[in-house]
Amino acid sequence: MFKLRKQLLIGVAALSFAAIGMTAYAQADGADGRHAPTPEQQAKFAEKMAKRQAKLHDDLKITPAQEAAWQTFIGKIKPVRPADAPQRPSKEEWAKQTAPERMDHQIEFMKRAEARLAERSAAVKEFYAVLTPVQQKVFDEHFKKMEQHRFGHRGFHHGGSDDRP
């Protein structure tokens, strides 16, 4: 009897500690853990993008004849700014929606994402056609590194060979 009471007491204490930890985590994390980027974060992102673009421009050794195609390419691949993006429903609005309405919102989001990806793909193909074979190899390497950086955090390129998708 004493062992059972002791085990129950230990179990209740462990659950209490877990609940306290989760409460503290939720309070520190904010409402849903996401927030709009601050102006400082946006400026830092823009600065990093400009540096990457300048490095790619230098690595490709863009000729004066290719400069117009480069400028067009850079203009077409700019990320969507939060002010330009459609607004998400608030947490309260989302909670009021039915499951089919939520699915419709998700489908619309995916359609917009697919359209943006198709536009970027067309811009890459258009710019790629202007490059020399040597420049195309440099661009391919740059693009491969970018994908590894972007998707590598999700386990696609951690360990193993590079021939995996």
DSSP 163: T
Mean pLDDT throughout 9-32?
Answer: 55
Residue 94 and residue 31: Cα distance in Å, rounded? Answer: 14
Between 110 and 8, where is the model more confident?
A: 110
At position 43, the amino acid (one-letter code) is A
Contact 122, 43 (CB under 8 A): no
Average pLDDT of the chain to the nearest whole number: 77
Q: What is the pLDDT of residue 157?
A: 46
Residue-level pLDDT at 154: 55
pLDDT top residue among 114 and 158: 114
Closest CA to 131 of 35, 57, 42: 57
Q: Of all residues in the chain, what percent carry a pLDDT higher than 70?
A: 64
Q: What is the pLDDT of residues 57-84, one digit of tens each?
A: 999 999 999 999 999 998 888 876 655 5
- CB 105, CB 46: distance < 8 Å: no
For residues 26 and 62, the model is more confident at 62
Where does residue 71 fall: left (phi above 0), alpha (psi -120 to 50 degrees), or beta otherwise? alpha
Which stretches of the chain are DSSP H helices?
Answer: 2-29, 39-60, 67-76, 91-96, 99-130, 133-152
The predicted pLDDT at position 37 comes to: 76
